[in-house]
Structure 1
Amino acid sequence: MGDFVNHLFAAVMDRFAKARKVAQLEHTISSFIRYQEKRGQLYQTLRHFANDPRWVLRYVVGREIGRFLDDEAEEVIRIWMRLAADKHLYVREATAKGMVSAMEADFDRVWRFWESAFHDDSAEVRQTAAMTLIPLLQNPVLRKRLLPLVKPMGRDASPKVKALFERYLSPHLLEEEPFPVPAMDFKTTADLPVASRLIDQVVGQDEAVAIIRLAARQKRSVLLIGEPGTGKSMLGQAMAELLPASNLEDIIVEARGKANNMPKVRVLSAGHGEAVVRQREREFRTNVSSLRWILGFAGAVTLIVGAFYAYTRENPVYIMGSLILTVMIVWFAKSLKAKPSEQIPNYLVNNSGKVKAPFIDATGLHAGALLGDVRHDPYQSGGLESKPHHLVEPGAIHLAHKGVLFIDEVAMLSLESQQALLTAFQEKKLAITGRSPGSSGTMVRTEPVPSDFVMVIAGNVPDVDKIHPALRSRIRGYGYEVYMNETMSDTEENRYKLALFVAQEIRRDGKIPHFTREAVEAVIECARRIAECPDRLSTRFRELGGRIRSAGDLAVQSGAALVLAEHVKRAGHFSRSIEEQRVWRERNGLKPLLRQPSPGKIKVLSNYKETAGQIIQIWTAVVPAAEVEIRVPQMESGEWNVLPIEAALNRYCLSGRYYFETEGAAAGERTEDFTLAMALSALSAKHGVFIPEDIAVCGSLNVAGMVGECAFFGRKMLTAKHGGIRTILAPLANKHIEVPPTIHVVWVQSLDEAWNAVQLLTRTKLERDSFSFEELLK
């Protein structure tokens, strides 16, 4: 009786394993273990199963034989070592799982014999050994002891071991070992190594990289906020590389009998969906071919019978009738085309042959493309209509199943789409229905389609307020929020990483030659200028990438074998933005501005759409009034901040109606840059003071009369140099930024200092480049 029950359990487990019914298989294994434990025959049965040709029985042995390590140590070890070399991957995985359970109870006892497996001649045994390390390295007590075994696996000859090392083990080395910083003694970027994985190519975002690694391991979602070009998209793609691809699934949709408008969804392991669809298509083609053969035979019989009766009865009507009937049969046979039918499923997600988790970029998608849709059927009757399940189209959330869904510029999504996205994210499934009003697809609704994805949302700082509160709360509660770095420290390590970035861009572009070391240093100097902070480098790599490609194109044009430093410097002219080109062409320096000095006229250094510096001229006219009144021009970019000017004029008791006008300003200006200049222009108009034409102002003012730090100061200095400005009143907070030697700068902290400096500068010739207001008084 016992043998019969064992055979019955074995047959059931084998059947469930072949059908890939995991839940039923695990339930059967649990029932089998409980039954054998009650009979006291579990050990003997497992020993018998260890030699069975059915892999699922060896799988059970590898996972459960460790129960008897205390009583039958030698036999258990012998069975484990044999199963560690098994040809079936699932058996080796179960063996590794069983040994890990035993090592968690008594590590030293198992490790005494298992340590040699890491140097075994069999690649399967070494792979099983690597599998045991994956969970054991999570134990902080065992971590330091096991880490020395990880590094040699990266040089293993077996691709199976290397794959485990790259995906699961190498991150542990990166967490333990500091970044190696070779000296900057390379000759060209061809001598620099380029990492194969995207996560290792990210520069200047160490905290974000660490969070992405952790989120990928734990399958958490991430919100990335930062300036454009700081690496948000690359981090999303890198996360997909870190996710395991072993649990990918295919999703197909089938007809549901009479309920055509409610298609049935079926989930299969990756690769099996394609087999099911091909089998159904083959069955359908076989049925059509059989029917055509029958119709062809019927046509031939009709001709023969018609000819027989026409001959025997000497009546041509029979032959004519048989010919007509045969033509009708042939026409009907040709009309049987192998078109989709109810029996053929429709693919929604096909992960057959994929070795990486899917990465789906859903940026800017409309609701149908994001959440799935059902196409409109123009032929809804008459036998020409399509089956509803063949009209179902998956959304990005379904294509990202078991992978990464990346959404940049999240503010572009409507609140309705964000709400549906939240539902799919929470429930890990979402039904597909028609989303176009008036479409026949709105009558179709599938079963819930799996959408178990890791979500990576990216955006700029203003986008944060446009994220659905519930969606953001879900990310904060079950994931991480990351603010991207805009700059990084100017250290030897980061300079070397920038050199690696240049090498990466060259290999990624594939059209430009390598850079010399001097050219790389010129790129690093560009990163310093863009950062506009002492001892900092910019992490806006999209802007740097444009300079690199422009320099490479110039080198190709000149026929140079390598990109030189002079190419990088010349590339600055060709890689300017549209805004910069517009400013330099249409409002080039002082040319469009009136050069005659007059009270109330002052020049201000501004920034056009945060990219191009330019010189704006402000005029002020004042008429008597009982109190301070301010009139400003309308700006498309927003409201003027006139409170600091109004507070200053009231503080000086200078009542009047002040009219301000700007010359050369346009939509997109940073109006906060005008406040100090407007206050000085108002004082100049009220007191009749002429401000020299070669003086310009930059900086913002608050209601207390203090001058705040100026944004994009370096770009404004270059604009002043190009525009012929000789003297600048600038905030003391910007003193750390390098100034062109041809420009004199007076550093001020308050409006009082700035106004006194203006009056002194009207009658003082400067002989130094940079001094404070106190030095100017002396």
Structure 2
Amino acid sequence: MFGEEVEELRGIRWDWGQFESTRGFPVSSNLLDWVVGQEQALEECNLVLDEWIHKLKWIRSEGAFDGWRDPGSKRPQSKTVPPGPFLLLLGDPGTGKSLIGRALAAHLTGKYEEEGFKSQDVLCWPNEVNPSAPRISIHEAGEGKALVSREKPKGEEMRTAYNVAFKAAFWMILVIGFSFLGLGLSDLLKNYLAWRSLDGLAAGTSGGVVTSSFASISDKIVKGGFLLFMAFILSVYVERRQGAQARGIGGAIRSTAPKLLIDNSQGAAPFVDATGHSSVQLFGSIAWDPYQTGRLGTPEHQRVTAGDVHRANLGILYIDEVKNLQPFEATTLLTVLEDGQLPIAHRAMHDGGGTSALAVSTDPIPSLTLLVAAGNFDAVDRIHPALMDRICGYGRVIRMNNDMLNTVENRRKYVQFIAQEVKRFRLPSFSRGACEEIVNEGRRRSDKRNSIITKFRPLIGVIKTAGQLALNQGLEFVEASHVREAVAEHCKTIQQQILVHQIEERGSLLEIEPRGTSFGSIYGLAAVSDSFSGERTGTILKVTAYMHRKSPDDSTRGFYKVTGIARDGRWIDDSIDKVRTVILKRYNVDIAQHYYTHIDFSQSQGVDGPSAGVTMTLLICSLISGRRARTLARTGRPMRQDVAVTGEINVGSDDEVRVTAVSGLYEKIKAAEAWGFRKVLIPQRNLEHSVNPDDFEIEVVGCSTLDDYLRHILVDDEDPFASDDRDEPSGERKVSAPWEALGSPSSLTVLPPPLTVGLTFEQENGSKRRDETQIEAD
């Protein structure tokens, strides 16, 4: 499976033919090397990075940021720097979009070190002329903190010393005051106890005790109360003095020193994950000042808060699920991408900022960012058109692969992927057999016979669960049995769990009995997809039908009704029309005019998809085949109930009715296997390209035409309606009445007297009409 070569991997010789486990497999520290199966996407990403580095070289040579060095200098006009490049990654969940975004940031840091690029710090300065328009300056990373320390007001250190002295005096006076008060109360207590003593009363000295002690007691208490009052006055003064330097909302300080908006002193290339952020977080805002006026107000420049687009300047701004951006957020973002700069002003979804304290807007701040956006395929129609135009015009839109060819080289990449997850989650090493089982599971999930899946997130769950099973057993390696147990027992999607619940708990309620034969009943296969994770699971659909042939004397029009389907199901509507055409072509009868036809997807609702076409066609063929004229008793040909079918029916001018491939075959066949069916009929193309019959215990049969399906599912192979008139040219064929196509009365056996049946029809005007029809039974 992995070949026999010995390969040099990051300085380690790895024998693919003899390795027994992933222990010792060299795992790269570069996150870009962790991306598996997305070679085309990585090539496009490298081109985008090269274009970005070329742009930064031009900016450095032209001195595009020189106008922002001095807060008082004139600012460059917008659009002086050309926009782009940008990157939009579209793909199913779990294909590595987020990993590529983070890997690009780490790779960009290395590029900056090679080329000598540095990030920038941003300072916000007060504007003495117009306080509502704070000034902005940019500096090399690491210089911002030094400038803030150097630009502190000269008297700030003295005010800090005064505050410390006042606090020390306050606590000293408070302690002395409580001491005096305590001494006075202590003397009062001692004199009171002496006055109450019997000896003092007998001596007649009680009055003298009170008189002699009153002076000393009152002196101490009065001094203590006075000191406490002075401490209170001092505390009020200190509080009011410190109020001018107290921090306001958002941590703003009441100071004229510049504010450090963006600090890039760590030296790494900026990477900001703005997924799910609101407009305030994306584009910055002005904090509200609850005091607004007087010495308690906070200066405007201290209330400015930078946004993600400013922090990602000269770096990467990553937005996952970009389709969720609100229209006004997308409009502002495309302005940033076009202009390369954005001033910070008050932004709030439900507040227009009506007070003068919020009427603040800074100078434009550089926002030259490499936008890396990501989303599922449904994001194409939901991204703001103008934003999509900028991304397509100045960048690249990349489709992420869902699978890759099942080759030796790609199977080796699976071993690399397993080793990476083992290192990341601290799991036991995987044995060779466990690696082979993971590869087989990736092949089964790809829905292609010669491919393996690159949607790795579900497989990560399998790897983690298998590793934990091995840890619980105290084993050193993860074996193939652990992987099989994880897949079969612990890593089922919610749809698979519902299917198991239906089989175990609702089996007695569902009308699914895969055995014997039956008239007017067939089992179809369908796949249910999770719109969030993209995971699919199969399900069984029981389809039943009833057909009532119109009498030659009946002037009413027949009908063709299908119930249990999605009301707005475009796929199922197309399949319904195809079934009518195929039956007309095959049997020369129109099931919508010559019959009262009702097809029901029993115990189902909202069924949609093209694979229901062959199911309905086979069901109608079984009811028409063998039906005798002027008969309404149970006729037709029985169908095997231990056989489930799937496929898309197609209309053509040739004699054979082709059945073409559908998706979700692996999940569908697994559902039929779980319910106990003996055979599954699938399109021949799916058998050749989608599934491997060896993966299933059930018999899987490929069929190319409708006749192939009928041979396997009908109990009797005889088809009396395959008459010679089908060989006539299509332009000269005569569409006879249904009772003529079903045979002449002379060829029928003698039947009992006709039975009169009354049918009541409701007119459009609300009235009812009753017709009686004579029906002959077997």
TM range (shorter): 0.5 to 0.7
Change (3 A) 1:617 1:391: farther
What is aligned with 2:545? 620
Shift in alpha-carbon separation, 1:347–1:405, aligned structure 2, 3 A = same
Is the Cα–Cα contact under 8 Å of residues 411 and 439 in structure 2 kept in the other structure?
A: yes
1:305 aligned residue: none
What do residues 64-116 of structure 1 show as CA deviations (whole Å, max 9, x unaligned)? xxxxxxxxxxxxxxxxxxxxxxxxxxxxxxxxxxxxxxxxxxxxxxxxxxxxx
Map residues 730-741 of structure 1 onto 2, 5 A cutoff: 730-736=682-688, 737-740=691-694
| SS at 1:189 equivalent | coil
Which structure exhibits the higher relative contact order, with contacts defined as CA atoms closer than 8 Å and separated by 6 or more residues?
Answer: 2
Match of 2:639, SS state, is: coil
542, 556, 570: which one aligns with 2:471: 556
2:260 paired residue number: 347
2:644 alignment partner in structure 1: 696
Q: Distance in 1 between matches of 2:434 and 2:166?
A: 78
Do the aligned partners of residues 720 and 381 (structure 1) sit closer, same or farther apart at CA in structure 2, a change above 3 Å counting? same
1:541 CA drift (Å): 1.0
Instruction: Quote the residue 2:590 is aligned against.
Output: 654
Q: 1:590–1:724: 8 Å Cα contact kept in structure 2? A: no
Task: Give 2:35's aligned residue.
Answer: 202
Which residues in structure 2 correspond to 1:272-287 (within 5 Å)?
A: 272-280=143-151, 285-287=156-158
Deviations 1:687-707 (A, max 9, x none): 533322101111122344532
Q: Which residue of the partner structure matches residue 672 of structure 1?
A: 610
Q: Is this contact kept in 1: 2:640–2:715, CA < 8 A?
A: no
Q: Any idea what SS the aligned residue of 1:190 has?
A: coil
Query: Which residue number in structure 2 is paired with residue 93 of structure 1?
Result: none
Instruction: Provide, for residues 656-684 of structure 1, a one-character-per-residue CA deviation record: whole Å limited to 9, x for no partner.
Output: 343333235456x6522222212223333
Aligned to 1:643: 577
TM-superposed CA distance for 1:351, in Å, is 1.0
| Aligned position for 2:92 | 227
CA distance in 2 between counterparts of 1:501 and 1:297 reads 64
Contact 2:323 2:383 in 1 (8 A): yes
In the other structure, the counterpart of 1:271 is: 142
Quote the Cα distance in structure 2 between the aligned partners of 1:481 and 1:498.
26
- Worse overlay, 527-536 or 574-583: 527-536
Measured against aligned partners, the alpha-carbon deviations of 1:438-464 in whole angstroms (never above 9, x if no partner) come to: 364753322222211111111222211
Residues 261-285 of structure 1 show CA distances to partners (whole Å, capped at 9, x for unaligned) of 3222221211111223344458574
Question: Within 5 Å, which residues of 2 pair with 1:171-250?
Answer: 183-219=16-52, 220-243=85-108, 244-245=111-112, 246-250=117-121
Shift of 1:580: 1.1
In structure 1, how many angstroms separate the alpha carbons of the residues matched to 2:705 and 2:469? 47
- Distance in 2 separating the partners of 1:524 and 1:608: 24
Give the partner amino acid of 1:698. Answer: T
Shift, 1:234, TM fit: 0.9
What residue number does 1:331 align with? 236
Contact 2:270 2:314 in 1 (8 A): yes
- Per-residue CA deviations over 1:195-218 (Å, capped at 9, x if unaligned) read 011111111111111221221122
User: Which of 649, 654, 658 in structure 2 is aligned with 1:706?
Assistant: 658
**Contact conserved, 2:565 with 2:608, CA < 8 A, in 1?**
no
Query: Partner of 2:125 in structure 1?
Result: 254
| Cα-Cα RMSD | 3.5
SS in 2 for 1:343: coil
1:663 to 602, 605, 612: 602
The offset of 1:360, in angstroms, is 1.7
Partners of 1:203 and 1:418 in 2: how far apart? 31
CA distance in 2, matches of 1:353, 1:761: 79
Is the 8 Å Cα contact of residues 216 and 242 (structure 1) preserved in structure 2? no
Structure-1 separation of matches of 2:578 and 2:608: 16
1:499 alignment counterpart: 415
Q: Unaligned 5+ residue runs, structure 2?
A: 1-7, 53-84, 171-224, 247-252, 530-534, 551-555, 626-635, 720-778
> Deviation at 1:717?
1.8
Q: Does 1:633 align with 2:564?
A: yes
- Amino acid corresponding to residue 646 of structure 1 in structure 2: R
1:71 is aligned to: none
Give the secondary structure class of the aligned counterpart of 1:365.
coil
In structure 2, relative to structure 1, the CA distance for the partners of 1:554 and 1:670 (3 Å cut) is farther
Deviations 1:211-266 (A, max 9, x none): 21221122232121112111111111111122244321112323322533322222
> Structure 1 residues 203, 283: CA separation in 2 closer, same or farther (over 3 Å shift)?
farther
* Identity %, equivalent residues: 29
Q: Name which of 653, 677, 699 aligns with 1:744.
A: 699
**Cα deviation code 1:538-560 (max 9, x no counterpart):** 11111111110010011111111
Counterpart residue identity of residue 285, structure 2: D
Corresponding position of 1:432: 344
CA contact (8 A) 2:547 2:597 kept: yes
Q: Distance in 2 between matches of 1:614 and 1:650?
A: 30
1:156-171 pair list within 5 angstroms: none
Q: Against the structure 1 CA distance between its residues 637 and 554, is the aligned structure 2 distance closer, same or farther, given a 3 Å change threshold?
A: farther
1:601 — aligned with what? 521
Question: What amino acid does structure 2 have at the position aligned with 1:277?
Answer: V
Which protein shows a greater Rg? Answer: 2
- The CA distance in 2 between the partners of 1:321 and 1:720, in whole Å, is 93
Distance 1:676 1:272, change over 3 A: same
Q: CA deviation at 1:483?
A: 1.2
Is the 8 Å Cα contact of residues 697 and 728 (structure 1) preserved in structure 2? yes
Aligned to 1:470: 386
Aligned-pair CA distance for 1:719: 1.8
Note closer, same or farther for the CA distance 1:707–1:261 as it changes in structure 2 (3 Å cut): farther
Shift of residue 632 of structure 1? 3.2
- For the structure 1 residues 658 and 417, does the alpha-carbon distance in structure 2 shift closer, same or farther, using more than 3 Å as the test? farther
For the 8 Å contact 1:626–1:655, the answer to whether it is kept is no
SS of 1:618 mapped into structure 2: strand
TM-score of the pair, normalised by structure 2: 0.67
Cα distance in 2 for residues equivalent to 1:560 and 1:427: 59
3-state SS of paired residue (2:397): strand
Give the letter for the 1:600 counterpart: G
Determine the C-alpha separation between the residues in 2 that align with 1:603 and 1:750: 18
User: What secondary structure does 2:99 align onto?
Assistant: helix
**More displaced, 518-527 or 645-654?**
645-654
Matches within 5 A, 1:17-56: none
Q: What is the Cα deviation at residue 295 of structure 1?
A: 7.7
Amino acid of the residue matched to residue 693 of structure 2? V
How many correspondences in the alignment? 569
Partner secondary structure for residue 735 of structure 1: helix
Aligned pairs for 1:311-326 (under 5 A) are none
Q: Name the residue aligned to 1:724.
A: 676
How far apart are the structure 1 equivalents of 2:163 and 2:507?
A: 86
TM-score (norm 1): 0.67
Q: CA deviation at 1:647?
A: 2.6
Partner of 2:190: none
Q: Aligned AA for 1:221?
A: F
Distance 1:383 1:258 in 2: 19
For 1:593, the aligned partner's letter is E
* CA distance in 2 between partners of 1:344 and 1:742 (Å): 76
Q: Once the 2 structures are TM-superposed, how far is the Cα of residue 516 of structure 1 from its aligned partner?
A: 1.4
Structure-2 change in CA distance of 1:271 and 1:631 (3 Å): same
